[in-house]
């Protein structure tokens, strides 16, 4: 998936620090878990990467002629947990962090984002439950339902 990885260049870091100072001035209580806006962005990107990795592991099993149900179960549990984590890292003061791929529209549509995030979590909980039951065919259907919720948000709210 797309990712701008310029965060390690000294120039990008300088920009992040500058934005961090700006962000601190307008920080809201919701961001209290994060020392600066840059940390919140790194946190949510990390969570999305872990979630994506485990979606990939499930997908690999679903494509296999001999899917390993235990791998599917372990990864479905990780995806379920991860699906709850990114959202409080989208505080308003993270909009201008240099290396975020979140589009400005995201910060103007809080209700819509909550709806899309809730839907994603709902489908992740279902995937975890279905995986535990061990029916690979049912897992395949639910995996598709969950993957759709990723695209539904990325289409409008993440930079291509
Ligand atoms: C409600 C919106 C929303 C949903 C639902 C969502 N994402 Fe994302 N995702 C984003 C946004 C916004 C970003 C950009 C984050 C940033 O760069 O600050 C992102 C970034 C990512 C990234 C890149 C992280 C990086 O290193 O930059 C991956 C991978 C990803 N999402 C995977 C997923 C998967 C897999 C799902 C579904 C299981 C999912 N996302 C569901 C909004 C969403």
Instruction: Check if 85 has its Cβ closer than 6 Å to any atom of ligand 1.
Output: no
Ligand 1 atom showing the smallest separation from residue 149 Cα: 5
In angstroms, the CA 50 to CA 75 distance is 10
> Could you identify the residue written with the tokens 């296999």?
64
pLDDT at 125: 98
Instruction: Give nearest CA residue, ligand 1 atom 29.
Output: 49
Binding site membership of 48 for ligand 1 (Cβ less than 6 Å):
yes
Q: What's the pLDDT tens digit per position in 11-28? A: 444 444 433 433 444 444
Residue nearest to atom 2 of ligand 1 (CA): 153
Task: Give the pLDDT band (50/70/90) at residue 33.
Answer: confident
Residue 105 belongs to some domain of the structure: yes
SS3 158: strand
Output the domain CATH number for residue 103: 1.20.120.10
pLDDT interval class at 8 (50, 70, 90): very low
Q: Is 32 within a domain?
A: no
Query: 92-133, pLDDT tens digit by residue?
Result: 999 999 999 999 999 999 999 999 999 999 999 999 999 999
Distance CA 86, CA 43 (A): 7
54 pocket-lining for ligand 1 (C-beta < 6 Å): no
Would you say residue 3 lies in a domain? no
Give CA–CA dist 106/101, Å, rounded. Answer: 10
Residue 54 to residues 35, 41, 61, 67, 124, Cα–Cα distance (Å): 28, 20, 11, 15, 12
Instruction: Work out how many domains the chain is built from and give that number.
Output: 1
Q: Does 142 fall in a domain?
A: yes
Q: Is residue 2 part of a domain?
A: no
Do the domain assignments include residue 20? no
Whether residue 24 lies inside any domain: the answer is: no
Rounded distance from Cα 68 to ligand 1 centre (Å): 26
100 lines ligand 1 (CB under 6 A): yes
DSSP annotation of 102 reads B
- Residues of the domain holding 66: 37-157
Residue 5: CB atoms within 10 A of its CB come to: 8
* Cβ proximity of 72 and 136 under 8 Å: yes
Mean pLDDT score across all residues of the chain: 86
What is residue 31's predicted lDDT score, i.e. its pLDDT? 52
How is residue 32 written in tokens?
């209290």
């Amino acid at each position: 998936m797309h990712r701008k990885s310029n965060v390690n260049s000294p120039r990008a870091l300088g920009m992040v620090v500058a934005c961090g100072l700006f962000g601190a001035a307008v920080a809201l209580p919701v961001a209290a878990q994060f020392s600066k806006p840059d940390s919140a962005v790194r946190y949510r990107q990390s969570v999305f990467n872990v979630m994506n990795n485990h979606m990939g592991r499930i997908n690999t099993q679903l494509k296999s002629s001999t899917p390993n149900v235990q791998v599917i179960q372990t990864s479905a549990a990780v995806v379920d947990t991860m699906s709850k984590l990114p959202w409080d890292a989208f505080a308003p003061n993270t909009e201008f962090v240099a290396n975020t791929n979140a589009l400005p529209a995201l910060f103007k549509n809080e209700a819509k984002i909550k709806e899309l995030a809730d839907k994603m979590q709902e489908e992740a909980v279902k995937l975890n439950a279905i995986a535990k039951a061990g029916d690979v065919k049912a897992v395949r259907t639910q995996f598709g339902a969950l993957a759709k919720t990723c695209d539904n948000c990325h289409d409008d709210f993440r930079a291509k």
